[in-house]
Amino acid sequence: MTDSPQKKRVRTPRDTQALIVALIQKMISHGHFTCDIKTAIAEKFTISRRSVERYITRARREMQQEVENYLERHRAESFFFYRSIADSPHSADRDRLRARERIDKLLSLDTQAPSENDPADFKLEDLKKMTDEEFDALYQKNLKKAD
């Protein structure tokens, strides 16, 4: 049985790690396949393909975090922009109303209020008190809504 000599572990410097991650992110953004990224990075920096997999995971995680941070920052900027329009006395009423609507949408407050003839609003007693014609009209109306 032959024992292969253990290789001495060499740590990659942090600046080289950052460079590897940046290169991988660029390659991902250009649409390169993972196997191509592994091959190119492993050859260029003389590291194992398994190490490159870890760098790919790190690069994807950082890219995802950047997108999430951007979305949150964009949402906050939009909110304060619309609020400045809504609070400005110089804005037209139409613009202020539109800004309020956009704020409601950003904050997920734009749910529709139930209509006055919503069947969920009717109680059993109300339905029992209806005439046949009223009940048929309500039934037909709700059939059209469902389509």
For residue 71, give both structure tokens: 């979305």
For 29, the domain range is 14-69
Q: How many structural domains does the chain have?
A: 2
Residue that wins the pLDDT comparison between 91 and 124: 91
Cα–Cα distances in angstroms (integers) from residue 135 to residues 13, 139, 146, in the given order: 77, 6, 17
* pTM higher than the cut 0.85: no
Residue 52 in domain: yes
pLDDT tens digits for range 55-89? 999 999 999 999 999 999 999 999 999 999 999 99
Please tell me whether residues 62 and 75 are part of one structural domain: no
Are 19 and 44 members of one domain? yes
Q: According to the model, what pLDDT value does residue 143 have?
A: 74
Q: Are residues 57 and 18 in the same domain?
A: yes
Structure confidence at residue 139 as a pLDDT band (50, 70, 90): confident
Judge residue 115's burial from the number of C-beta atoms within 10 Å of its C-beta, 0-12 exposed, 13-18 middle, 19 or more buried.
exposed
Q: Is 131 inside any structural domain?
A: no
The residue among 106 and 4 whose pLDDT is bigger is 106
